[in-house]
Amino acid sequence: MATVLEADHVKKYFPTGASKWLLRPTDQVLAVDDVSFKLEAGTTLGVVGESGCGKSTLGRVLAMLLKPTDGSVRLNGVDLATLNERDLNQVRRDIQFVFQDPYACLNPRHSIGESIATPMKVQKTHDKQGRRQRVQELMELVGLNPEHFNRFPHEFSGGQRQRVGIARALALNPKIIVADEPVSALDVSIQSQILNLLEGLQNDFGLSYVFIAHDLAVVRHIADEVAVMYLGKFVEYGDATSIYKTPRHPYTKALMSAAPVADPKIGRERKRIMLTGDVPSPVNPPSGCRFRTRCWKATDQCAEVEPQLVEVVPGHRVACHYPES
């Protein structure tokens, strides 16, 4: 299989806070801190973790909406940092972004037809007639009534607006779609509709997805590989089946254990790992292993030595000094 997208030691830091005297801030949010992975054509990488762990920031860096502070992103083997503005624009077509709340990024005064056509207009890929035709084609594809192209966003439900967002992302025939919590704001019955749609599109067009979510069960359905993020780092990364069957990082285990199960009998019987406290600040992450402040297995070593992401079984990496077996 061919690698379509590759992240190599990607970092994204944001300056934050005001210094005491000068206007220049002194602190940095380590939003994404040294992340590497490879995405194969036609597969899905699911990225999970609690809020504030850097998932969206990673997604934006991958979709070229943000420049990485350090490290490189390679699209079809080409390092994006080496491209000039014109070539970048060209490759931008290949990677598209789907937002959590499509309402926030659809112009309320534009009909959804116009919104879907925007990328084609910006990239000048179709003439007016072509755009119109393509919009209707896309609407059909994502399960919207093509006759509704001149309706406005507020006339659609949340699920339908997400379909609009997906249609727009598909407009330029991308190879990769980065979807940031595309179903988190939707009701379960609608979530399933959107997930089915995404899977159908993947099969039909050989798309690759980076699928960001905080809900492990949603990712379970769509991902081939899973990355669990904690405070800007991948703490566990690898084959989805392997991770869901035998989570090896204590954080992954705790996340899975915390997710409520829609079955009262199982729910009553199982013993839950209860994490204490919240995610620490990404401005001053804990030394050594960043999870140690909430980890029930932490020792002195965890405070001193940062665990590296190492392959424990083929296709399954963990960054923990005491991985579960």
Ligand X SMILES: Nc1ncnc2c1ncn2[C@@H]1O[C@H](COP(=O)(O)OP(=O)(O)O)[C@@H](O)[C@H]1O
Question: Residue 98 in contact with residue 147, Cβ under 8 Å?
Answer: no
Q: What phi and psi values does residue 283 have, to the nearest 5 degrees?
A: -80, -45
* Contact residues for 318 (Cβ-Cβ < 8 A; gap 6+): 235, 236, 248, 249, 309, 310, 312
What, of Mg ion, other proteins, ligand X, none, does residue 262 touch, CB below 5 to 8 Å by kind?
other proteins
Among 46, 54, 285, 288, which residue interacts with ligand X (rule: CB under 6 A)?
A: 54
According to CB under 6 A, which residues from 183 to 222 bind ligand X? none
Contact letters for other proteins, residues 27-66 (x by CB under 8 A): -----------------------xx---------------
**Applying CB under 6 A, which part among 55-63, 121-129, 134-142, 192-200 lies near ligand X?**
55-63
3-16 sheet: strands from edge to edge: 27-40, 3-16, 70-75, 78-79
According to CB under 8 A, which residues from 218 to 237 bind other proteins? 218, 220-221
Torsion of CA 38, 8, 64, 48, to 10 degrees: 60
3 state SS for 6-39: EEEEEEEEEEECCCCCCCCCCEEEEEEEEEEEEE
Q: Which two tokens stand for residue 297?
A: 């297995």
What, of Mg ion, other proteins, ligand X, none, does residue 31 touch, CB below 5 to 8 Å by kind?
ligand X
According to CB under 8 A, which residues from 254 to 283 bind other proteins? 254-265, 267, 272, 274-276, 278-279
CB of 282 to other proteins, least distance (A): 13
- With respect to ligand X, which residue has the nearer C-beta, 4 or 47? 47
- With respect to ligand X, which residue has the nearer C-beta, 57 or 252? 57
- With respect to other proteins, which residue has the nearer C-beta, 111 or 162? 162
Give the bridge partners for 74, in sequence order.
Answer: 6, 79
Question: Residue 19 in contact with residue 26, Cβ under 8 Å?
Answer: yes
What, of other proteins, Mg ion, ligand X, none, does residue 96 touch, CB below 5 to 8 Å by kind?
none
Contact letters for ligand X, residues 256-295 (x by CB under 6 A): --------------------------x-------------
DSSP 213-258: -S-HHHHHHH-SEEEEEETTEEEEEEEHHHHHHS--SHHHHHHHHH
- With respect to ligand X, which residue has the nearer C-beta, 149 or 211? 211
CB of 204 to other proteins, least distance (A): 14
Quick check: 31 binds ligand X (CB under 6 A)? yes
Q: Which two tokens stand for residue 315?
A: 């296709």
- Determine the 3-state secondary structure of 165 from DSSP: helix
Quick check: 104 binds other proteins (CB under 8 A)? no
The closest residue (CB) to Mg ion is 56
**Applying CB under 6 A, which part among 50-58, 199-207, 270-278, 313-321 lies near ligand X?**
50-58
Among 111, 162, 191, 252, which residue interacts with other proteins (rule: CB under 8 A)?
A: 191
According to CB under 5 A, which residues from 50 to 89 bind Mg ion? 56
| Residue whose C-alpha is closest to residue 193's, from 163, 154, 156 | 163
In sequence order, what E strands does the chain have? 3-16, 27-40, 44-48, 70-75, 78-79, 95-98, 176-180, 208-212, 225-230, 233-239, 310-313, 316-318
Question: Residue 312 in contact with residue 248, Cβ under 8 Å?
Answer: yes
The footprint of ligand X (CB under 6 A) covers 14, 16, 29, 31, 49, 51-57, 282
